[in-house]
Structure 1
Amino acid sequence: MNIKRRLTLKFVLQLAIAGMVVLLIAGFTIFWMLQRFVEISVTRDFASVGLERVVESSVLGKEGIRFAPSLLEQVKDHDGWLQSLDEKGHVENAYNTPQDVPTQYGPGELVAYWTGATPFPYQLALLVQEKDGRLYTLVYGAPNRLDPLLKQVSNGTGAADDKSLVIPDALAEELKTAHAFVQLLDSSGVELNAYNKPKEVPSQYSVQELALRTLYNDRYGYRIKTSYDEQTGRTWLVGEPNTRGNLGTKPWMPEEVTVFIRGSAVMLGVLLILFVLLSLWQAHRFGAPMLHMLVWLDSIGNAVYQEPVDRKGFHRSRTPTGKWRRRYRIFAEVMVSIEKLSTALQRDLATREQSESLREEWIVGITHDLKTPLSSITGYAHLLAEPAYDWSQEEARKFSATMLDKSAHMDALINDLAMTYRLKTGILPPVTMEVELNAWLEQMLIQAGADPAYGMQRIVFHAAQTDVWATLYTPWLERVVNNLTANSLLHNQPDTILTVSLWGSEDGSKIMIQFADNGNGMDEVTLNRLFERYYRGTDTASTSNGSGLGMAISKGLIEAMGGRIAVETQLGEGTIIRLIWQ
């Protein structure tokens, strides 16, 4: 799997995991808010909501019915009590039940208390529900303080006139104990008189406001009961706090909104922390390797090719055993490519330094080779120009021939140097011509074999079986043939034989000229540097073919004509050089 697919898979997998975590956090937050909403509903109206929760959370064991402790605490907080009845009206289980509450009910007795037909100091709520094959009957009771107080006030116990409201001491004490208050309203809803009224309770009510405060007491913090006098058009109002804890204070924000804001804030905070942690992890997982690679590339730009190491001298990308570290493993291909680039640049630097050294050595050698024949030419010229001597015509011709030979040597050296730079710039053959290689190559080898420096009958030619036609620049090919012939016959033993063979296809698409000798051969170092410029120097005792540039020029000329050179050699057994066009 390549790096593109690995990175794509990694990022998709991470996004999927992050999305799942976000969904889990959101789901947990929504679940918590729903639970809180239910708890708020139970707190506000335990009689209708709480009883169902009691049945749902109840567990039937050997000792009877057991209820959830949290719900029982809600019963206690509302000053309520709870009873569980069997089918005959007997109390099976009870919680926080006062002494004045019966422990057994007749069929009509419970209904009379529930409907209010029989006076009872508690407001009752009944729930009959089947669970696990059993019929539950739960009775929830809470103190009924408002109805008795309203009855006393409206029946004349609280006397009222236009200026004051007279409350008996016993009733006043009862109102203060219950933190209750009394208001007397006129026909338009304006307060005439009040007793023990808190500051937050209004002094005037509209029809809508009084109805809303009666139905939705949890919004306003007080439960109220009213009694309307048809004769006077006045309304008696008795109220008490919803719970004893807040004493009727109205919250500045609904509890549901508070829960929603709190849950949303916690969820956003957790998501922010998760995002920060994920960013830090991503920076550690992907940022550190990328920074390491950038530092490495910057080092390469400064000619430092080794991979950066940590304080202990170990590579950051690998373990002490040489394996990739986990966070670097995904970038293994890039790291390997940088390593290859570093190695190649380091090798090229070494090659350039070596070539520079060889070039300097060659310049020293070629300078010596040029100065030596130049010294000979200068010496003979001084001899000829010296008036003290009277040279014969034969001696003058001898001096001139030597000078011409040395001049030709110098000219060959200069031409070779110029040719190497021309080949380096990528020159093309000036004018190509079609030639039949069997006859042309045989003629060139006859001319080369006539050189006295080579000896007699040391070149053997094997022509192709059919005519071989090729389009080439023959002066360049002639120079290559002379260079290869000189290398084989001058740098081996005097009895070395050079065998030249020609092969070619009828259409001229494939041609091969092979130069094979049975001489000394070459070692691996010489073979690897055979076509390098400046590899060898020479002296004035050698011919122009010994300039050290012959093989480099031959390779360049063959490649310029569309061919290539292949070399096979073995030390002590000879060398085979093939010129190939295909």
Structure 2
Amino acid sequence: MNIKRRLTLKFVLQLAITGVIVLAISAVTLTWILLRFLDISLTRDFANVGLEQLMESSKIDENGIQFSPSLLEQVKKNKGWLQSLNEDGLVESAYNTPKDVPNQYGPGELVSYWTGAQPFPYHLALWIQEKNGKLFTLVYGAPNVLDPLLKKVKEASFTDAKGETVLPEDLEKEIKSAQAFVQLIDSSGKAMLSYNRPNMIPTEYSVQELALRTMYSDRYGYHVLSSFDKESGHTWIIGEPNVKGTDPGKTVRVPEEVKVVIIGSSAMLIALLIAFVLLSLWQAHRFGAPMLHMLVWLDSIGNTIYTEPTDRKGLRRSRTAAGKWRRRYRVFADVMVSIEKLSAILKRDQVMREETENLREEWIAGVTHDLKTPLSSITGYAHLLAEPKYDWTKEEVRKFTTTMLDKSAHMDMLISDLAMTYRLKSGIKPPETMEVDLNAWLKQALDQAAANPAYGKQRIIFQPAQTVVRAQLYTPWLERVVNNLTANALLHNPSDTKLTVSLIQKDRDSGFIVQFADDGDGMDEETMIRLFERYYRGTDTATTSNGSGLGMAISKGLIECMGGQIAVESHAGKGTVIKLIWS
């Protein structure tokens, strides 16, 4: 898997994890909000919400029906009570039931209490449901404060000497103790009497105002009852706060649902912020640290430091002690390997540059030496000839000029060979090739080379191919290669060294090999590796003028320009084999 796929997979996985975390936090928040809404509904309207929850969460065993303890606790908080009736109206189980509540109901009795047809000190709510093949009836009662109080207000109010309606002092205390308020409004809706009225309760009502406050007590914070007197056209209004112990009129009341939504949303945002911060830190650790490590490494490479940065213990940050990739570096393995290769290549190039610089200095020193040596000879003899106090004979002058010409020819050959090496380096092509019979051509070229008196007699042995070998070559270049290899084998080895030149025809194709094998001293590994470098060996022009020190480099370049290859095999004391290979 390449780095593109790995990074794509990693980032998709990161997004998936982030999405799961967001969904989990959102689900937890939504669940909490719904549960809080349910708690608020149970507190405000247990009669309509709680009875169904009680029946759904109940369990039936040998002891009868068992209700949820938390819901029973809510019944107690609402100052209510609960009874479970069988089909005969008999109470099977009860919770927080006052003493003035019956233990058995007749069919008409329960309905009359429930509908208000018969006076009863409690508001009743019924829930009838079949469970496990048995019909259960739940009766929930809550204190009925307003109805009795409204009845007392209507009966106990009187008109004083000024003609104003007033309430008895003991009734006022009872109203105040119940945290209730009382108003008397005329037919136009204006308040004639107000006692213990909160700030949020108006002093004048329209038809819609009174109707809305009676129907939607949750919206206004007060439960309101009213009683209209047809004869006088007056209306008594009495109310109590939905939550005792508070006065919604003193402060701007925020609905409980809004508070729950605000708290839940704030908690969710904080949780998401913390989650994203942690994910960002993890992301930075997971992806940022390796990228920073690679940038530091590349910066080190720019400063010619080609080793991977290490930690305080001297270990590579990307690898374990066993050499395996660390987990967070695995996704960048391809990049890290590429940087390692780049470091190795640059380090190798640096070593090669240093070696090349040393070779260049050696090469310049060799060229300078080989040029200055014959030039010194020429200059010396020129001074001798120009000296007026000497009268040289013709033989001496001829000897001096012969030496000067020989040294000049050597300088010219050296300069020509230098020019040839640079031409080969630029990739020149043979001027015009021709087809030759290599068996005949090589025999002739080797015979001409053997005629050189410096080589000695019968030191070159030619072994032709068994079949005719024809090739398209530029013979002047090939002749120079043959002369260079022959001179190199015979002049730089002992005088009894023999050179065997073989022409070998390949069996499977039209390729061939020209092999030069001598039984001389051979070469060590370093000399063999650097054999084809330009001017690796400088010749001493004081002892011989046959070499320029560039022969092997020129030979390699000429063979490659003609489409061949050159290879060398040698061991110290075991001779040297050089092969010219055409495939």
TM over 0.5: yes
Q: Does 1:418 align with 2:435?
A: no
Q: Which residue identity does 2:157 align to in structure 1?
A: G
Give how far 1:525 is off: 1.9
Q: Is contact 1:428-1:561 (8 Å) kept?
A: no
- Aligned residue in 1 for 2:240: 240
In structure 2, distance between residues paired with 1:443 and 1:311: 72
Give how far 1:369 is off: 2.4
400 and 160 in structure 1: CA distance in 2 versus 1, 3 angstrom threshold: farther
Give how far 1:202 is off: 0.9
Q: Is contact 1:86-1:137 (8 Å) kept?
A: yes
Q: Is contact 1:468-1:505 (8 Å) kept?
A: no
- Aligned residue in 1 for 2:122: 122
Q: Within 5 A, what are the aligned runs for 1:131-530?
A: 131-154=131-154, 156-159=155-158, 164-249=164-249, 252-424=253-425, 426-429=426-429, 431-438=431-438, 439-464=440-465, 465-472=467-474, 474-502=475-503, 510-530=511-531
Given the two structures, how large is their TM-score scaled by the length of structure 2? 0.92
Q: Is contact 1:468-1:504 (8 Å) kept?
A: no
159 and 510 in structure 1: CA distance in 2 versus 1, 3 angstrom threshold: farther
Give how far 1:120 is off: 1.0
Give how far 1:297 is off: 0.8
SS in 1 for 2:472: strand
79 and 345 in structure 1: CA distance in 2 versus 1, 3 angstrom threshold: same
In structure 2, distance between residues paired with 1:389 and 1:440: 53
In structure 2, distance between residues paired with 1:94 and 1:514: 118
Given the two structures, how large is their TM-score scaled by the length of structure 1? 0.92
Comparing 237-246 and 86-95, the one that deviates more: 86-95
Q: Is contact 1:240-1:248 (8 Å) kept?
A: no
Instruction: Give deviations 1:3-45, integer Å, cap 9, x for gaps.
Output: 2222222112221122112111111111111112222222221
Give how far 1:445 is off: 2.3
Instruction: Give deviations 1:200-225, integer Å, cap 9, x for gaps.
Output: 11112222222221111011111111
Q: Percent identity?
A: 67
SS in 1 for 2:94: strand
In structure 1, distance between residues paired with 2:205 and 2:413: 125
In structure 1, distance between residues paired with 2:540 and 2:491: 14
In structure 2, distance between residues paired with 1:68 and 1:246: 29
Instruction: Give deviations 1:379-430, integer Å, cap 9, x for gaps.
Output: 3333333444444434433332222222222222222333333333x14136
Comparing 29-38 and 547-556, the one that deviates more: 547-556
Give how far 1:443 is off: 3.2
- Aligned residue in 2 for 1:578: 579
Q: Which residue identity does 1:333 align to in structure 2?
A: D
86 and 565 in structure 1: CA distance in 2 versus 1, 3 angstrom threshold: same
SS in 1 for 2:53: helix
Q: Which residue identity does 1:514 align to in structure 2?
A: Q
Give how far 1:79 is off: 1.8
Q: Does 1:35 align with 2:15?
A: no
Q: Which residue identity does 2:404 align to in structure 1?
A: M
In structure 1, distance between residues paired with 2:381 and 2:122: 148
In structure 2, distance between residues paired with 1:435 and 1:343: 46
160 and 565 in structure 1: CA distance in 2 versus 1, 3 angstrom threshold: farther
Q: Is contact 1:224-1:239 (8 Å) kept?
A: yes
In structure 1, distance between residues paired with 2:544 and 2:512: 30
Give how far 1:353 is off: 1.0
SS in 1 for 2:87: coil
- Aligned residue in 2 for 1:78: 78
In structure 1, distance between residues paired with 2:545 and 2:45: 118
Give how far 1:52 is off: 1.0
In structure 1, stretches of 5+ residues that fail to align are: none
Q: Is contact 2:506-2:513 (8 Å) kept?
A: no
SS in 1 for 2:237: strand
Give how far 1:471 is off: 4.5
In structure 2, distance between residues paired with 1:146 and 1:545: 135
- Aligned residue in 1 for 2:551: 550
Q: Which residue identity does 1:158 align to in structure 2?
A: S
264 and 493 in structure 1: CA distance in 2 versus 1, 3 angstrom threshold: same
Give how far 1:285 is off: 0.8
Instruction: Give deviations 1:501-540, integer Å, cap 9, x for gaps.
Output: 345699x974543322233332222222222234222212
Give how far 1:282 is off: 0.9
Give how far 1:62 is off: 5.1
243 and 467 in structure 1: CA distance in 2 versus 1, 3 angstrom threshold: closer
In structure 2, stretches of 5+ residues that fail to align are: none
Q: Which residue identity does 1:478 align to in structure 2?
A: E
In structure 2, distance between residues paired with 1:417 and 1:105: 129
Instruction: Give deviations 1:302-342, integer Å, cap 9, x for gaps.
Output: 11111112233222222233332221222222222212221
In structure 2, distance between residues paired with 1:409 and 1:252: 115
Give how far 1:553 is off: 2.2
SS in 2 for 1:331: helix
Q: Is contact 2:430-2:561 (8 Å) kept?
A: no
Q: Which residue identity does 1:9 align to in structure 2?
A: L
Give how far 1:50 is off: 1.0
In structure 1, distance between residues paired with 2:427 and 2:59: 101
544 and 287 in structure 1: CA distance in 2 versus 1, 3 angstrom threshold: farther
Q: Is contact 2:373-2:542 (8 Å) kept?
A: no
- Aligned residue in 2 for 1:22: 22
Give how far 1:122 is off: 0.5
Q: How much is the aligned-residue C-alpha RMSD, in angstroms? A: 2.7
The number of aligned residues is 579
234 and 57 in structure 1: CA distance in 2 versus 1, 3 angstrom threshold: same
